[in-house]
Amino acid sequence: MTTIRIGTRASALARAQTSWVAERLGPALGVDVELVNVVTEGDRSSAPLTEIGGQGIFVGAVRDALVRGEVDVVVHSLKDLPTVADHRVVLAAVPQRGDPRDSLVARDGLTLGELPVRSRVGTGSPRRTAQLHALGLGLDVVAIRGNVDTRLRKVASGEFDAVVLARAGLVRLERTDAITENLDPIQMLPAPGQGALAVEVAAHAARLATDIEQVLDDPGSRATVLAERSLLRALEAGCTAPVGALADLADGDDGAEIWLRGVVAATDGSHLVRLSASGRPDDAEGVGRRLGEDLLAEGAARLMQEQAS
């Protein structure tokens, strides 16, 4: 294989993420790299993600192109991946994770706490909506769609007082100058897998998967996102559910351990369940599953059902 075709959505962020992978993969494997644009249903529609099937709609078309052999590799924002396994593909690598936090972009350089009551804050995420309301700041949280530049323009034009975006995306687009505050996970837990990339190949491409893993995979990042996504799977929740999770690797009394925090909140912020769990990195999936079960025992299912109704 002298040329590797990497499938990507055509958005600026998707291409930036895919280019980052291509710049490392090509030289390491001694091959040329070609980026191939794939149009998804989510790109064609302006409706809210919760109405058209969630962020998983961005993944399906790109994966289909991979399975059909139109591309050799695909790159996703890992937080967009459905938790149900697709046995047609293999997760070849989770590169070193970017900053998982959410960031505020607000008018006049304001922080979240400085925004006046009834300020219009834009987000397309039920998770962010729920946690913003739970802070009790009296903000008017409004649904928003569009790429990063579109959302930033809505703040610059005065249509919104602020928007909340993933910091990692702003870093990859070199737009950190727009950030007025990085939100502490104590205030807002990020989406499971936020800040991480997923590099997939077709299930039959075992040799290519091994080569990519050796070049790009970061075991620590893979373990933390595995724990977070295992929690999401235990909750039987999709990537647009009002669920936040963040796993960190830390030094414990008996060696390295994973510390996982999770939250499930009512969209209006009136109720939330927040718990944590820890365990060995080689049991990342078990840590996530157990925390998901604990959240369900504390009423998480009812909160998610209220959001879906």
CATH superfamily of 102-182: Periplasmic binding protein-like II (3.40.190.10)
User: How many Cβ atoms sit within 10 Å of the Cβ of residue 115?
Assistant: 22
Q: Which residue has the higher pLDDT, 190 or 256?
A: 190
pLDDT band at 239 (very low <50, low <70, confident <90, very high): low
User: Is 126:68 a contact under the CB 8 Å cutoff?
Assistant: no
User: Got the DSSP string for 192-213?
Assistant: TTTT-EEEEEETT-HHHHHHHH
Q: Report which residue type is found at 195.
A: G
pLDDT at position 40 = 66
pLDDT at position 241 = 81
**DSSP letter at 123?**
-
Q: What is the pLDDT of residues 170-191, one digit of tens each?
A: 999 999 999 999 999 999 999 9
* C-alpha Rg value of the chain to the nearest Å: 19
Q: What is the pLDDT of residues 50-99, one digit of tens each?
A: 444 444 567 989 999 999 999 999 999 999 999 888 999 999 999 999 99
**Residue 108 annotated to the active site:** no
pLDDT band at 42 (very low <50, low <70, confident <90, very high): low
Q: What is the pLDDT of residues 112-125, one digit of tens each?
A: 999 999 999 999 99
Instruction: Look at residue 261 and tell me whether its pLDDT is greater than 90.
Output: yes
pLDDT at position 49 = 47
Q: What percent of the chain has pLDDT over 70?
A: 92
Q: Which residue has the higher pLDDT, 49 or 275?
A: 275
User: Boundaries of CATH 3.40.190.10 in the chain?
Assistant: 3-95+196-217, 102-182
Reference 166, options 130, 194, 206, 199; nearest CA is: 194
Mean pLDDT of 249-268: 90
Q: What is the pLDDT of residues 12-28, one digit of tens each?
A: 999 999 999 999 999 99
Say what the pTM is. Answer: 0.90
Helix (H) or strand (E) holding 120: strand 120-122
pLDDT band at 285 (very low <50, low <70, confident <90, very high): very high
User: Got the DSSP string for 227-242?
Assistant: HHHHHHHHTT--TTSS
Q: Which residue has the higher pLDDT, 48 or 159?
A: 159
pLDDT at position 301 = 85
pLDDT at position 289 = 97
Q: Which CATH number fits domain 225-308: 3.40.50.720, 3.40.50.1000, 1.10.760.10, 3.30.160.40?
A: 3.30.160.40
CB environment 127-141: b (16+ within 10 A), e (fewer): bbbbbbbbeebebeb
Rounded Cα gap, residues 32 and 263, in angstroms: 43
Mean pLDDT of 32-48: 71
What is the residue whose two structure tokens read 């009812």?
302
- Domain 3-95+196-217 belongs in CATH node 3.40.50.800: no
User: Boundaries of CATH 3.30.160.40 in the chain?
Assistant: 225-308
pLDDT at position 57 = 65
Write phi, then psi, for 171 (nearest 5 degrees). Answer: -65, -45
- Spot the catalytic one: 43, 72, 80, 294: 80
